[in-house]
Amino acid sequence: MRMNRTAIVTGANSGVGFYTTIGLAKAGFSVVMACRNRNKAEAASAEIRHLVVDAELEVMELDLSSTTSVRAFASGFREQHQHLNILVNNAGVLDVSGRKNDAGIELQLATNHLGHFLLTSMLIERMPDEPGSRVVSLSSIAHKQGRIAFDDINCEHQQDKLFAYAQSKLACLMFASELQRRLEAASRKILSVCAHPGGTDSGLFDNMPRFQYYAFRLLAPFITHSNEEAAKPSLHAALSPEVRGGDYFGPQGFRDMRGPVGHAARTPYSEDQEVATRLWQLSEELIGEPFTGLKREGSGSPGID
């Protein structure tokens, strides 16, 4: 029996997002599939309905690289839905071309972090103030190679072509932790949690530098697991009653690439609260507005400034 619970999964039409949607549908959630390509999302929705016969799914267009698209999606969701229980900030791109979005921001940072930062800001007010309400952010083991290049945020002077991707996924992890601190400061019970999928060939790596791509393809059978397995950390973060705010989950096997779900390792840099605060402030500047929705309803208690 479905219990009038609503979830959003960004990038739900393929890879980890596809199986995250299946897991949430099986758990009784009505799932909004927030996807850039409506045709692919509709096809994925039909496939999921075949696998989960009572699935309640809705497709909505969302291009996370565009603040205009994020705002339109959030406004449309708020018009149609009175509450949101789970927000899975799953969608991501890996693009070494140096492309930027319409606002001149490096595409991976704009999509993987800033789009989700703005989306969460616009929708968190729809979440019931209880521990079952979760914001789940997707990071990556690539965060371990990341730093936030505040003096080169578009990564125009980085020699490593994967630096910008690592920076964007580090930003996702730091956002999740900082959001939890701000929720606690505002006496909110909503949980901000993070997860990473480990190693999985979801199509994300097709845009790697060619040498690294072929090396990855050669090693993939030995170090990766299926997209279905890769979705388990996200589903654990979204659904487990044992989750605590600020937790970070991922596979526990060799080099965190695959295996059973557990608490994931993170770098000391990713736990630096001064960097996280500075990243939060920069993110607000880049989206052109402050993060809203952290005040407890009926209270004047603000979040952290």
Reported as a single tens digit per residue, the pLDDT across 79-95 is 999 999 999 999 999 99
**How far apart (Å, rounded) are the C-alpha atoms in residues 87 and 54?**
21
174-223 pLDDT tens trace:
999 999 999 999 999 999 999 999 877 655 555 555 555 555 555 555 45
Confidence of residue 302 (pLDDT cuts 50, 70, 90): very low
**Residue 214 catalytic?**
no
Q: What's the CATH number where 41 sits?
A: 3.40.50.720
In a domain, 243, yes or no: yes
Q: How far apart are CA 73 and CA 60, in angstroms?
A: 7
Amino acid at position 79, single letter: E
Helices (H), 57-162: 67-80, 107-108, 115-123
Token reading at 201:
């060939």
Give the residue among 285, 13, 250, 292 at the shortest CA–CA distance from 126: 292
Task: Answer whether residue 298 is part of any domain.
Answer: no
| DSSP codes, 257-294 | SSSSEEEPP--TGGG-HHHHHHHHHHHHHHHTS-----
What is the amino acid identity at position 267?
T
What's the token pair of residue 227? Answer: 């997209």
First to last CA, the chain: 42
Share of residues in the chain with pLDDT > 70 (%): 87
Q: What is the CA radius of gyration of the chain?
A: 18
Confidence class of residue 297 from pLDDT cuts 50, 70 and 90? very low
CB burial readout 69-81, b (16+ within 10 A) else e = bbeebbeebeeee
DSSP code for 141: G
Amino acid 149 reads A
Structural tokens at position 115: 């789009």
Q: What is the DSSP letter of 305?
A: -
C-alpha 26/C-alpha 229 separation (Å) is 16
Is there a domain that residue 223 lies in?
A: yes
Residue 136, beta-bridge partner list: 88, 193
Give dist(CA 66, CA 64) in Å, integer: 5
| In a domain? residue 113 | yes
Domain-embedded: residue 296: no
- The two beta strands, 261-263 and 248-251, are antiparallel
Q: Is 154 left (phi over 0), alpha (psi -120 to 50) or beta?
A: alpha
CA 227, chain centre distance (Å): 16
Alpha carbon distance 63, 102 (integer Å): 12
Asked whether residue 95 is domain-assigned, the answer is yes
Question: Mean pLDDT of all residues in the chain?
Answer: 90
Confirm whether 258 is domain-assigned: yes
User: Would you say residue 155 has pLDDT above 50?
Assistant: yes
Which is catalytic among the residues 165, 213, 214, 248? 165
Domains contained in the chain, number: 1
The C-alpha atoms of residue 134 and residue 239 are separated, in whole angstroms, by 8
Q: What is the C-alpha to C-alpha distance for residues 288 and 67, in angstroms, rounded to an integer?
A: 9
pLDDT, tens digit (0-9, with 9 covering 90-100), for 138-151: 999 999 999 999 99
Name the residue range of residue 242's domain. Answer: 5-287
Given a contact cutoff of 8 angstroms between Cβ atoms, the answer to whether 91 and 64 are in contact is yes
**How much is the pLDDT for 215?**
54
pLDDT of residue 58: 98
Q: Is the residue at 266 inside a domain?
A: yes
Per-residue pLDDT band for 298 (boundaries 50, 70, 90) equals very low
